[in-house]
Amino acid sequence: MPFRRIQSKLLKDRTMRRSPLLRRHLPETRPYHPYVLKRMLNQHSTVFVKPDTGSQGRGIVRLKRIKNKGVHISWGLNNRKVSRKFVIRELHQRLSPYHSYLVQQGLHLTKYHHRLVDIRVFLQKPGTKWLISGKVVRVGAAGRFVTNYSQGGRPVHLPKVLNSIYHHNPQKVHRTIQKIDQIAYHAAAALNRRFPGIRVLGIDIGLDRSGRIWIIEANTRPGTQLFKNLGDQSMYHAIVTRRELIDRQYKGRRRK
């Protein structure tokens, strides 16, 4: 690859967290430990346990506090209710001994047609500046708590979803898109300072029910299938064109 890939979610989170501007947009994220999980479940009504180097929404477990000291555990399309005193034992049956994990604060994300959504911002650096090549909403499949395309998510144009959320208020839609762009550019700059070889990023943005914008995670090898499957192909063509430019620049440097 002509650009560097950073797999660890924790490493990328810590890198972005150094920025005061980004810090307030990052949900609490810690290396997994049973004590950490118990503490975070006390503080947050929902937490996620994720593989540190996982992708495509695989291996993620959601834990949600319920009444009478219970916890609702979800993985894939499966659900189970357990007592809080047995939650660690139950969770460990779902985790792989070959992976390291993190615990992340759950967010009360906004919904579109009763389904969870988040926003993928696709950035590329074909020259000296980062450019946003595309933005798309990922709408989760029915019954899923992840929005990944590989898990049944589907792409929808961002303005269409924001117009639905904000009841066709153009000022709110415009302001939200501006804020999303600003946060994505700051995230790209922060990661690029730490990892100069990065040339492409997929920033996953969450919008909670109060309108607050969150960075869920950053991907250094984002897929393009979401954009390819939109009716409007302009963003996909921009991504492909800039990717070819980055590839040519990389090959030119190698020949020198």
Whole-number pLDDT of residue 77: 82
* Alpha carbon 161 to chain centroid, angstroms: 17
Beta-carbon contacts of 151 under 8 Å, excluding residues fewer than 6 positions away, are: 56, 57, 140, 141, 144
Which residue is it, tokens 């440097």? 253
Ramachandran region of residue 143, left (φ > 0), alpha (ψ -120 to 50) or beta?
Answer: left
Single out the residue of 147, 159, 154 nearest to residue 118, CA to CA.
Answer: 147
Whole-number pLDDT of residue 252: 63
Residue 72: Cβ-neighbour burial (10 angstroms; 0-12, 13-18, 19+) = middle
Share of the chain above pLDDT 90, in %: 80
Whole-number pLDDT of residue 1: 42
Beta-carbon contacts of 18 under 8 Å, excluding residues fewer than 6 positions away, are: 190
Neighbouring-strand partners of residue 137: 119, 156
- pTM for the whole thing? 0.93
Whole-number pLDDT of residue 2: 46
- 135 band by pLDDT with thresholds 50, 70 and 90: very high
Domains delineated in the chain: 9-26+108-255 (3.30.470.20), 29-105 (no CATH)
Q: 218: part of which helix (H) or strand (E)?
A: strand 213-219
- Kindly state the average pLDDT of the residues 227-253: 90
pLDDT by residue (tens digit) across 24-73? Answer: 999 999 999 999 999 999 999 999 999 999 777 788 999 999 988 899 99
pLDDT at 149 over 90: no
